Structure 1
């Protein structure tokens, strides 16, 4: 016979518990905590900070403050400079490092201009200089430098098609780097006369440096043949210039073992697992059992939600894999295959809408899911939250949640339920964070 478990008492309201756990996860993802512990030696020449990503401006500001504080002469400060590009709204002002903003997830002309300048800065660095490269998620779109024979409009069209296709982040970035003049190790090649240190904030399952922002400063083991296979798998039509480029084996990315990587350092500052561990610690401090399901979960958002719902029910009904009260935690990057036009919302809102439909009016569940950069897709929310009242609000408001899910319109559904989570830009990015409370 199944074991029937009684409702567990909680130390606070379910939503308050979830918000505290989310806050702990975001705090652990802040790269500013790790940068002072990983400072390089002062070079004889200039210190040049370049980079791209949603967290890159915050990383640059943290580095600048620590560099000047630790090495504090006017001469060293005057030899510090560079250029970093981040997403619109994610800038962090610096005194010596220029910060510019560009479009994400679809690239724009501002990103292309910034990438051109960053490549030129790297090319001009000499043997006595030190290049500090700040790389975080979002850098693939922000470093928008099309390879010869491809226009920015081509890159934009391909980006939109990939985003709608359901391709994983590793698949999308494989295609992106093979159509780029700066990604796939090419930025390291451009700056190969100087010493280079790359700081990374991982937003990809598995934390592979070659996938984060399409690996501009690290070796790329993938090939143009791999990129063409991904294009074929998802039925994407390439512009003629892109098709021709991928068929030209002379335009391969920079492979492992190339001399341009010799002596360079790669430092991982923040990972999804760091946030999950911090969230688990916060949950235990509140008297909750914790289960980390994984930091690299991929798949269709609505299907991953069904899997999470099944595990949550197993906890509620059988006390497996943990007794109540329990928090299920997971990270990674799910995907959404867009099935229609006009829907609003990102992968985390879609996950939550599917989860809500699975759990419906069952008692003893609350959950949230966010993108840790504070922007879920292209809307103003980080994600969404639900508890036992959410389904009843949908019934009372005559909100057909299944219809919203069919239209990939999760944002609008949670907007009507008043269950959106809006944090604003967090200035970090370790991918999705999901927490399900069973009590």
Structure 2
């Protein structure tokens, strides 16, 4: 049976995670950035500087929202934008779990993390709406994490099935999110500045909730409203370096090769005229959520250390390195919260079920056992969107007793980790983290609460 101290720490870890998620509330973030009177709209350009604004008397405003926070963001915009300024109904595309009814926008549920036909239909509706805009009007675009999968709009010669196959190969190879985005942009009509290109010559402004470390707008939802510095040649190099080029559908190889030869249009670059009337505002990020979690930890009496604000790499490797770092620091003398934010990856070697956060939690528990982490500890790794990989869990929350609880149920956790079956391992020990869909997405949070052994 777990000690009262461990049970309390498990509750504290969840409280810190919830504080981080709350700090990324998309509805409030949009409310803070938009204000309007009867015929004028003010858009904040910097959430830390209320004086920096983009002001305009646009005769019509087109609302387009996509991502896991699309409905919450669009609801806030609907409450702010005066009815006479609306250019028809808005469009909001989100994952099925976050679908909600809106008053002035049509809502479309779509597949995530795997794109589906519903997302393709919604993406085409967005492309059609953007293409109907006129000079002097505004396209107000609300962007949040998950947009890459939710609005798939492949180039005409590539099918959605082929594009999904490419993404699957990349993810299974351990490709970084930047590498995945580079390839996806060069197979898409909307990503990599494609939406801005379709909307020109209208004005465009994007309010962006970042799920990407470093908050590079060209990486968030694969950057549909901003310039793309990557090239066809880079996409091909990535696919070759990951040893998947020869496995790609022929349509994909042919299109990328045509692009490298200048026979297919490149994604728009920073000097492209389509960006002369565009702008964006970062309204939420992993860094903001990490800060909120740290403040909550301090309120609960923990000494707080930011272990990493850019945690990446292979999930199980990152977990073991974290354990080794803490173990090397010597004896724990006071309750301490080590916090991290980031987005790791999983290298698929098995056919199990799980996600990067579940895999990291399981790997942490096994590494702590292996390296003899001599303290009372709880480790939580969770996706702020409430969904980790193709599962119903947000991640995992483990402690020193987790491996023993798994073995008591007749399973061997090391074997499940090797089979990428972290979901079932954590399920047997009661360590899955369930939050339900949160309506936001600012990547992942990791929380290690540790104190001297009682």
Q: TM-score, normalised by structure 2?
A: 0.89
Per the alignment, residue 277 of structure 1 pairs with 291
- Counterpart of 2:48 in structure 1 is none
Structure 1 residue ranges without an equivalent (≥5): 1-8
Paired residues, what number?
420
* C-alpha distance in structure 2 between counterparts of 1:354 and 1:336, whole Å: 11
- Structure 1 CA distance for aligned equivalents of residues 6 and 59 of structure 2: 56
Matched, 1:95 2:103: yes
- Separation in 2 of the partners of 1:394 and 1:83? 46
Indicate conservation of the 8 Å contact 2:112/2:149, yes or no: yes
Find the counterpart in structure 2 of residue 337 from structure 1: 347
* Counterpart position of 1:48: 62
Would you say the 8 A contact 1:348–1:384 is kept in 2? Answer: yes
Partner of 1:427: 439
2:237 corresponds to which of 229, 237, 243: 229
Distance in 2 (CA, whole Å) between partners of 1:51 and 1:169 is 22
User: Residue in 2 aligned with 1:65?
Assistant: 79
Instruction: Give 1:108's aligned residue.
Output: 116
Cα shift at 1:378: 0.7
| 1:190 has 2:185 as partner | no
Aligned to 1:154: 162
Q: Residues of 2 paired with 1:142 and 1:75: CA distance?
A: 30
Q: Deviations over 1:10-51 (max 9, x none)?
A: 798111111111111000111222212211643442221113
Q: Is the 8 A contact 1:14 1:387 kept in 2?
A: no
1:213 aligned to 2:225? no
CA RMSD of aligned residues (A): 1.8
Moved more, 145-154 or 376-385: 145-154
Alignment of 1:178 with 2:186, yes or no, is yes
Matched, 1:255 2:255: no
SS of the equivalent of 2:363 reads helix
Among 322, 325, 331, the residue aligned to 1:308: 322
Mark the runs of 5 or more structure 2 residues left unpaired by the alignment. Answer: 42-56
Shift of 1:382: 0.2
Q: Which of 121-130 and 405-414 deviates more?
A: 121-130
1:75 pairs with 80, 84, 108, which one?
A: 84
Task: State the shift of 1:261 in Å.
Answer: 0.9
| Distance (Å, rounded) in 1 between the aligned partners of 2:196 and 2:297 | 41
Asked whether the equivalents of residues 127 and 195 of structure 2 are also in contact (C-alpha less than 8 Å), the reply is yes
Contact 1:288/1:326 (8 A) holds in 2: yes
Q: Is the Cα contact below 8 Å between 1:245 and 1:251 reproduced in 2?
A: no
**Offset from partner CA, 1:182-241 (integer Å, 9 cap, x none):** 111011011012111101111112111001111111000000111111111111222111
Candidates 389, 392, 395, aligned match of 1:380: 392
Equivalent residue in structure 1 for 2:16, among 21, 27, 37: 21
Structural mapping, 1:290-369, within 5 Å:
290-315=304-329, 317-318=330-331, 324-341=334-351, 343-360=352-369, 362-369=374-381
Contact 2:6 2:377 in 1 (8 A): no
After superposition, the C-alpha distances for 1:51-103 in whole angstroms (9 at most, x for unaligned) are 32111222111221233xxx4xx534x54632121112111321001110111
**Equivalent pair of 1:173/1:214 in contact (CA under 8 Å):** yes
Q: CA deviation at 1:141?
A: 1.2
**CA separation in 2, counterparts of 1:262 and 1:294?**
36
User: How big is each residue's C-alpha offset from its partner over 1:117-171, in whole Å with a ceiling of 9 and x where there is no partner?
Assistant: 1011011011232111111111111111111211111112112212211111111
